[in-house]
Structure 1
Amino acid sequence: MEKNNIASVEVSSLSKRDTILSILIIGLLFFIFGFVSWVNAILIPYFKIACELNNFQSYLVAFAFYISYFVMSVPSSYLLKSVGFKKGMMIGFWTMAIGAFIFVPAAFSRTYEIFLLGLFTLGSGLAILQTAANPYITVLGPQDRAAQRISIMGICNKGAGILAPLLFAAVILKATDGELFKQLPLMDELEKNAALDELIRRVILPYSCVGAVLLGLGLFVRFSPLPEINTEHESEDLALANSGKSSIFQFPHLILGALGIFLHVGTQVIAIDTIIGYAGSMNIHLLEAKVFPSYTLFVTICGYLLGIATIPRFISQANALRICTFLGAIFTLLIIYAEGKVDFLGHTTDISIWFVVLLGFANSLVWAGIWPLALDGLGRFTKVGASLMIMGLCGNAIMPLFYGYFADLFDLRTAYWVLFPCYLYLIFYAVQGHKLRNWSLKTI
């Protein structure tokens, strides 16, 4: 099939070897997504110290990174239609590389706004890659096993997420930094600025290396054997069903799914990016608290493995989504109301922090559950529909700001209330929202 002079193939024409190779290459992409995205969990408290920020300002890290998805997702879909998946992915990697290199002048000047520009540029490149990779892996095989494939991608993503904060912390943090952080408020202005300048410039080397690797990955994907798949194939029945439709807004299950993605990713990033700060409120300093995002991501991977083993053999994608969304609501209430203390690394912590960790399990199969349900039946609207779903990733940008605002207004624990209405909506989508095929209330 030819479209815009780009040769594409049907999924059914791929051999088993081609399919496995494609899954491995897309798995590499999801590993990169995870490494670059989840390092924000350590950047937020790090910038809060080095750039002297309050809670709200520090969560602009997540805002700048993820708001790019809202800005770039639709342009990304048209870019991919124009140049194809492989060239589009190369452009995405190179855009990310530019974002990484922007960290160098930002660190030399200790200018938070330039860091935010670098994060926005990194996110823009990721928006292109996500717009390509998510519909690609969704259609790369039987529809009822899409959640399995997405769960495998999730393991790649969250596995990188476990490594990223730990590796980044190992590179930029020193054993003596705990004492430095205590001394900073006691220093005079000149001494403090010198200490903070030295602290922030530690990001120059790692981000320069990340930029170089991203440039290389762009070339690798461009010349890899990854096939150009036709993601917009329609059967005769589907073509007939969609014949009278001219816009993605005529697919309510897609629109509601995009809102579900917005709220889901918001709950996920809050669970991971706020947990270090929450541990800090229990007098666990950064050098020790850095492990908590990895704990959350580890239990997320456990959820993915469970999904791979059980979907669709023992449980449907929709039922897995229902279970996870109900667990999210329950764990949120336990974060807020559970009482008790446990010992961790010589510190006494509230048991509530372990329910924040368990949110990783509750969130594990939500993304994998929503995507195939929301893209079901879109046919030729798949690429644009996927771009709308990727726009939902701006929930990563907006939801942490709500959390930061309420954390400053009340306290870090009370601020977790922002999660509860999100999970209530996700329960609605899992139970009923994904079934809607027109906007008539009679179908509810």
Structure 2
Amino acid sequence: MSKKNSYLGPLFIIGILFFVMGFVTWVNGTLITFFKKAFSLDNTSSYLVTFAFFISYTVMAIPCSIVLKKTGFKNGMSLALLVMGIGTLIFIPAAEMASYPLFLVGLFTIGIGLTVLQTASNPYATILGPRESAAQRISIMGIANKTAGIFSQIIFGKLLLAGASSADPKSELDKVAMPYLVLTVVLVALAIIIRMSKGLVEVSEEEDDDTPIAAQQVAVQKTSVLQFPNLVLGVLALFCYVGAEVIAGDTIISYGVSLGFPEEEARLFGTYTLYGMMFGYVLGIVLIPKYVSQQAYLKFSAILGLIVTVIAINSTGFTSVICIAILGFANAVIWPALWPLALSGLGKFTKIASALLVMGISGGAVLPLVYGSIADSIGSTQKAYWILVPLYIYMLYFGLVGHKKKSW
């Protein structure tokens, strides 16, 4: 059996996990609009949804890496699904009590499970095959992730945003209970299946046949993960990227409503962003690494993100909404390109490095909250998108210079 065929089975299972991650992550855009209406929240308060969800990545990334060292990838993934199931289960008493803070606790708990899952699955997909095609493999995982996101936004948009009214928040919140009970059952069942699966093999973070011998020797000589500039700069790049991705994906529904679009129409805007991301992933699979390097694609994506952001801020109506959606296409391959560039040459430090990269996902917690605060303070959800400009500029720097630095 060829090496390629040997990792197709495990990648299929990882693809299922990416689908699960996408389903529970991308419903947040719908939840923001739903809770904003049900609890009569301002922009800043409504984006506590993303804050509670993504801040868990900062709080739990290092502990999760320690857990993974004890459990290994496979058992860690199973544990992650169980923790996510606890988080979705919390939504049921939160709906009964009409408690926004308890909903946030549930989102934080789901985020803890996702932290373990991200810390395990991304390096697993990176290490399992050749380094130069890592972005291609993670792009395939991204398609599974965004397909799930489209399904979740369509399903939950129909369930939660149809006729939502702040006049009777309790009756609106009752809509949450049954879908999240079903999610709980699915997550627990998947945890059991993953635990019993023979398809997922353990891989060592030092199993990196594509890392040059010289780079492996450098990794052995270094004593701290912070001695790798490409990793440290990559963590910051990931922080900027996830913030930009979440802003583009999770604010677009509320943005459409603020522009005067009916909620029934605006609830589908989030899927436009995800369709853009899926198209970007497909293009990445076709082009990387045969026709273009992952570094080149990263630079192109950052430049496109800059251009489209400026157009979105200076255009009106549906044109502006579509530009925010196009950011999905611009963002698509940044994530899969960043991971292998940031982990390049890390060797035995790969798991702790992966945990630090996962901490960068906290950009999805902090930056949408900053966006909401800016929108409230200046009274414009459109002008608040200026926050994206410095984020794309830094990602461009990492693609041009940052990932090449091997010493401080």
Task: Please report the TM-score for the alignment, with normalisation by the length of structure 2.
Answer: 0.96
Query: 2-side partners of 1:111 and 1:370: how far apart?
Result: 38
Is the partner of 2:201 in helix, strand or coil?
A: coil
For 2:218 and 2:232, the matched residues in 1 are separated by: 18
1:208 and 2:185 matched: no
What are the Cα deviations for residues 133-154 of structure 1, in whole angstroms up to 9, with x where unaligned?
0000011111111110010011
How far did 1:282 drift? 2.1
Deviation for aligned residue 1:117: 0.3
Who is 1:83 aligned against? 71
**Corresponding position of 1:60:** 48
Equivalent in 60, 84, 92 of residue 72 of structure 1: 60
Report matched runs for 1:225-240 at 5 Å: 225-233=199-207, 236-240=213-217
Q: Distance in 1 between matches of 2:119 and 2:179?
A: 27
For residues 103 and 240 of structure 1, the distance between their equivalents in structure 2, rounded to whole angstroms, comes to 49
Equivalent of 1:217 in 190, 198, 205: 190
For 1:344-382, what per-residue CA distance to the aligned partner results, in whole angstroms no more than 9, with x for missing partners?
Answer: xxxxx3421111011011101100111110000000000
Paired AA for residue 307 in structure 1: G
- What is the SS of the residue equivalent to 2:220? coil
Name the SS of the counterpart of 2:106 in structure 1: helix
Give the secondary-structure state (helix, strand or coil) at the position aligned to 1:148: helix
The question of whether the paired residues in 1 share the 8 Å contact of 2:34 and 2:161 is answered with no
- Pairing 1:316–2:316 present: no
Query: Are positions 1:123 and 2:123 aligned together?
Result: no
* Structure-to-structure mapping, 1:289-328, within 5 angstroms: 289-328=266-305
User: % of aligned pairs identical?
Assistant: 45
Unaligned runs of 5+ in 1: 1-12, 185-191, 340-348, 440-444
- Aligned partner (choices 81, 88, 95) of residue 100 of structure 1: 88
1:407 aligned partner: 375
Look at both structures and tell me which one has the larger radius of gyration over its CA atoms. 1
Paired residue type of 1:198: S
CA contact under 8 A between 2:13 and 2:200: conserved in structure 1? Answer: yes
Identify the match of residue 357 of structure 1 among 310, 325, 334: 325
The alpha-carbon deviation at position 433 of structure 1 amounts to 0.5
Contact 1:334 1:352 (C-alpha < 8 Å) held by counterparts: yes
- Pair 132,14 (structure 1): closer, same or farther in 2 beyond 3 Å: farther
Q: In 1, Cα distance between the equivalents of 2:105 and 2:246? A: 20
2:228 alignment partner in structure 1: 251
The structure richer in helix per residue is: 2
2:143 counterpart of 1:155:
yes
Report if aligned partners of 1:234, 1:380 keep a CA contact under 8 Å in 2.
no
The amino acid across from 2:367 in the alignment is M
CA shift at 1:285, angstroms? 2.3
Contact 1:272 1:293 in 2 (8 A): yes
Report the residue type matching 2:177 in the other structure: I
Distance in 2, Cα, partners of 1:198 & 1:286: 18
Contact 1:270 1:399 in 2 (8 A): yes
- Give the AA of the match of 2:337: G
Preserved CA contact (<8 Å) 2:216 2:346: no
Corresponding residue for residue 189 of structure 1: none
CA distance in 1, matches of 2:206, 2:289: 24
- Determine the structure 2 residue equivalent to 1:335: 312
Alignment pair present for 1:114 and 2:102: yes
Q: Which amino acid aligns with 1:395?
A: G
Relative to structure 1, the CA distance from residue 70 to residue 106 in structure 2 (aligned partners, 3 Å threshold; closer, same or farther) is: same
Give the distance between the partners of 2:52 and 2:151, measured in 1 at CA. Answer: 22
CA displacement at 1:234 relative to structure 2: 6.0
Distance between the aligned counterparts of 1:362 and 1:162, measured in 2? 17
SS of the residue aligned with 1:351? helix
Unaligned runs of 5+ in 2: none
For residue 416 of structure 1, report the CA deviation from its aligned partner. 0.2
Q: Post-superposition shift, 1:96?
A: 0.3
- Structure 2 distance, partners of 1:51, 1:33, is 26
CA distance in 2, matches of 1:406, 1:92: 34
Aligned partner of residue 242 in structure 1, secondary structure: helix
Task: Report the counterpart of residue 248 of structure 2 in structure 1.
Answer: 271
* Alpha-carbon offset, residue 105 of structure 1: 0.9
Distance 1:366 1:74 in 2: 23
Contact 1:232–1:383 (CA under 8 A) maintained in structure 2 = no
Per-residue CA deviation, residues 197-238 of structure 1 (Å, 9 max, x unaligned), is 000111000101101111111111111121011122367534
- CA apart distance, 1:86: 1.1
Measured after TM superposition, the shift of residue 15 of structure 1 is 4.5
- Cα distance 1:143–1:33, how it changes in 2: closer, same or farther (>3 A)? same
C-alpha contact (below 8 Å) 2:19/2:146 kept by paired residues: yes
Contact 2:127-2:208 within 8 A present in 1 as well: no
Residue of structure 1 equivalent to 2:362: 394
Q: Is the 8 A contact 1:64 1:120 kept in 2?
A: yes
Tell me if structure 2 keeps the 8 A contact 1:233–1:380: no
Alpha carbons 1:158, 1:300 under 8 Å: kept: yes
Between the aligned partners of 1:243 and 1:147, the Cα distance in structure 2 is 25
Classify the secondary structure of the residue corresponding to 2:129: coil
RMSD over aligned CA atoms reads 1.4
How far apart, in 2, do the equivalents of 1:90 and 1:208 lie? 19
Give the total of aligned pairs.
403
Distance 2:320 2:215 in 1: 48
Shift of 1:243: 2.9
Which sits farther off after the overlay, 229-238 or 48-57?
A: 229-238
Pairwise CA distance, 1:171: 2.6
- Give the AA of the match of 2:398: Y
Render the CA deviation track for 1:22-51: whole Å, top value 9, x for unaligned.
110000010001000000010001001111
Q: Which residue of 2 aligns with 1:8?
A: none
1:9 alignment counterpart: none
